[in-house]
Amino acid sequence: MNAYAILVGLLVLAYAGDALRPAGKRALGLSSGTEFLLVGILLGPLGLGAVTRAALDALSPLTLVAASWLALLAGSHLGFADERRVPRGRLTIGFVVGVVAFGACMLVAFFAAPALLPLEPDERLYLALGLGCAGSETARAAMVWGASRAQGRGPLHEAFADLAEADDIVPLLGLAVLFAVGPQPEGAVLRGQPLWALALTVGLGVVLGAITAALTRVEARSTERWGILLGAGLLAIGLAMRLGLAAPATLFVMGAALNLLARDGEALRGMLGATVRPVLLPVVALAGAHLDLRDGRGLGLVVGLVLLARLAVKASAGALLRRHLGISVTPTRWMGLGLMASGGITICVGLTAAARFPGPVGRVILAACLAAVALGELLGTPLLRRELRLAGEAQGVDTPAEARPAEGP
């Protein structure tokens, strides 16, 4: 299958992702689109081979643009959950939990990976940074999806969504660091200057976000605004690639600056939010097709250890924080496992790292990202729904006081 046929298929998938979510109804399928991950694996080189490595390489610029767009969406919604501003305390807690998860996964990978995989000395650090990124996100979309499946909303659901809101910063900042310290591609303007690379990653996003916000102030027509957003986004991606920077990190900063500086940020967030599903599903399918397991048992062991570290951090954080959420019902000590879900940002990190590091480093990072997403669907979402049911925030469940004692089991 050539690249043009794949592109048509991705466009059809993007249309389906939008068409299968009627206005006012909850989305069909899984929150992270994991079912399309399986489709990508089936059609890719690991499966039927209908999509070849050469075709995937030909589509790599499009893949980078789509993955970076997901980061722009995350940045544009930073600090908001369903247009409700997230309290600073919960933003801080979510960020700290993400940093701890990043650190735990990075340390596990740094010390365990050399014994399990054939790595060069520098690759040890690159892999550790990438796996820290793979283990640090909690997908807010999964919180909303899990609540809709349980048909419940309430203070506990808001707490889950709030805690998931701030940690997108962690994997994208880690990705920026990884690209700054890693080997630069041939022709990159910045070579051997990691501090300048980090500064430009942030500065470029801030400048383009401010310009975009200024242009949307004087142009209220949605069609023209789409042109401004797409043009600025593509310009940011092109400049980041030319400079050897992490394009998703740049677009995340651009989205955050736009969110902060735009006069009618709510309208812009609504416009950008409408593109989440149409962009996410093709990216997930491409990620599945890119999966490469040639590193064998070593890859599996490293990924397994990283996921165990992530699980331990989330479980411990939930047990420590459950009494300090400021809500009337105290969740169980296992509430942290409801924060295991990963989503678009994790997939974005995996695809971007795999493109930048084509050897074992990129392959293992992508595999860890996809495994984190799959584990989140299997473990995180069911436990989130369980917590909501026990808290009386699901349809047909007793009130919290009748369901169980306030202090939880």
**Contact at 8 Å (CB) between 291 and 109?**
no
Residue 388 belongs to some domain of the structure:
yes
Residue 23 inside a domain? The answer is no
Is 339 a domain residue?
yes
For 60-84, the pLDDT digits (tens) are 888 999 999 999 999 998 888 777 8
Per residue in 239-264, pLDDT tens?
998 888 999 999 999 999 998 998 88
Which residue range forms the structural domain that includes residue 355?
3-16+30-393
Q: What is the CATH number of the domain that holds 217?
A: 1.20.1530
Q: Is the pLDDT of residue 4 over 60?
A: no
Regarding predicted confidence, which is higher, 129 or 332? 129
Q: Does 408 reside within a domain? A: no
Q: Is 374 part of any domain?
A: yes
What's residue 28's pLDDT? 43
| 123 membership: H or E segment, kind and range | helix 121-134
* Rg from Cα positions in the chain: 20
The separation between CA 114 and the C-alpha centre of its own chain, rounded to angstroms, equals: 27
Per-residue model confidence as pLDDT tens digits over 276-320: 888 888 898 899 999 999 999 999 999 999 999 999 999 999 899
Which pLDDT value is given to residue 174? 95
- Give the pLDDT confidence of 16-43 residue by residue, as tens digits: 655 555 444 444 445 556 788 888 999 8
Tell me the three-class secondary structure of 211-258, residue by residue: HHHHHHHHCCCHHHHHHHHHHHHHHHHHHHHHHCCCHHHHHHHHHHHH
Domain assignment present for residue 303? The answer is yes
The arithmetic mean of pLDDT across residues 2-22, rounded, is 59
pTM: 0.88
The whole-chain average pLDDT of the chain stands at 84
Total tally of structural domains belonging to the chain: 1
Say if 406 falls within a structural domain. no
Q: Is residue 398 part of a domain?
A: no
